[in-house]
Amino acid sequence: MTFSFAAPTSTTGSTPVDAAVRAAREQVTAFFAKELAPGCAGEVLDQATRVWEELDLLKHQMVAALARIEASGQLLDQGGHRDLAKWLRHSFAISAAQAGELASVGRADARNSMPDTIKALESGTLSFGESAAIVKSVERAVEKRDARDNEDPDLFRAKMESGLLSFKEMRPNTSVSGIGQAAHQLSTRLNPNRAELDHEAAHAERGAKLTRTFGGSFLFQAWGSAADALRLEAALEGYANPYDAEDGLSRSQSTYDAFCNAVGFAQSHQKCEKPTTAAAVINILVPATTLAGLDGDDPATTRDGQVVPTSAVRELLTDSLVRHLMVEQNSGAVLDVGHEYRVATPRIRAAAFLGHTTCAWQHGCDVPLKWTQADHIVEWWQGGTTSADNIQPLCSTHNRLKHRWGLRRDKKRWAGRTRGRPGRPPGPPVQASPLRE
């Protein structure tokens, strides 16, 4: 297949595209340069979102054309690079990650390898970043697939694409990080032996190294399987010092202190037959059928979406507490576990957070689940229950923002009214939604 590109009819900087871009830039600049009037912040935010969406579409059309130039071989002749990502990085002065993101979407469009994802991008269903996350995750999974279980790469690619688009449709507010985690879980399900093989390989290559420096300090490095990482993370969290905002310690310093605490505990309790409390807590969600060894079911995962090999789960079960969590088979909804108290109990949090890996903010947020708070979707003081279907994980920033939005909404609702005036009942409480405020 050959590509032809018409020579420009005018000098650089004076094409119709240049004129249109300049005119659009002048209008956008004039809008955002205006002095912000009271109460107009919401409109400015909405306009910024719409401008960003248009930029996504422009980037898509541009990189699709550039990918066709790369495929034709003219990128090397005219641009000095064989690889589109390298050309983008050099020409646009952007990071390697950004260049790779742009190139991946452009190539998917030029090769027509993922038509449904490109169609969703063009229709506005997916943002450019979400499309890039799906394309990169799918291509990575195709490269790492087990050819014994999935001989046809095109069929495997189609399965991955369809699964991730369905996941995004069911959870429209999932973050880009959530898409990557879903891709990892889907790839594990389509490659039933992949997780076990990776676990065995990582365990076989495990190691640790303690190096002393000439300055009197040291460097400790360790590497191994993901299952061992879970044990180590849980132990460090269990031995971490109580949080104190006045300490001023960095995350690395807190981790170091926790590591030393664990070492000290091990040295001082060598003769203890049984510890009084659990040294570490690891929460893993594993379907009973998966644990029993049946193929085709969802893999075992942590609260953060990390896939755990079934063999590693069985190892951990030897000295672990098993908690049964019942869900509805078709929808996956967790059964209600009570609503008498405002503060969510650990059982309610576990049920409500099932299926989430990050903050559930409606516009997307990558804050990990373990750093989120249990937020009432319908506020408790408005009649919302402390139950699994009314609790969602929100980071502290978005929890406060949701509260402020609620106050602003109520102020608008009561504007011009006198509370308690005869003939004007207050009405029912506003029923907020987890997806829309």
| pLDDT tens figures, 217-258 | 999 999 998 778 888 888 888 888 877 767 788 888 989 998
Q: Which has the closest alpha carbon to 399: 419, 374, 370?
A: 374
Q: What is the pLDDT of residue 411?
A: 52
The gap from C-alpha 406 to its chain's centroid, in whole angstroms, comes to 26
Q: Low-confidence residues of the chain, pLDDT below 50? A: 1-11, 278, 337-340, 418-437
Selection from 349, 341, 385, 389 nearest residue 370 by Cα: 349
CB 109 within 8 A of CB 60: yes
Measured between alpha carbons, how far is 204 from 354 in angstroms, rounded to an integer? 32
Taking Cα atoms as reference points, which of 124, 81, 125, 85 lies closest to residue 105? Answer: 85
> Which pTM does this prediction carry?
0.60
The pLDDT score that the predictor gives to residue 224 is 92
Beta bridge partners of 307: 301
User: Residue 67: what pLDDT?
Assistant: 93
Residue type for 327, please?
Answer: V
DSSP 172: T
Identity of residue 297? D
pLDDT recorded at residue 412: 58
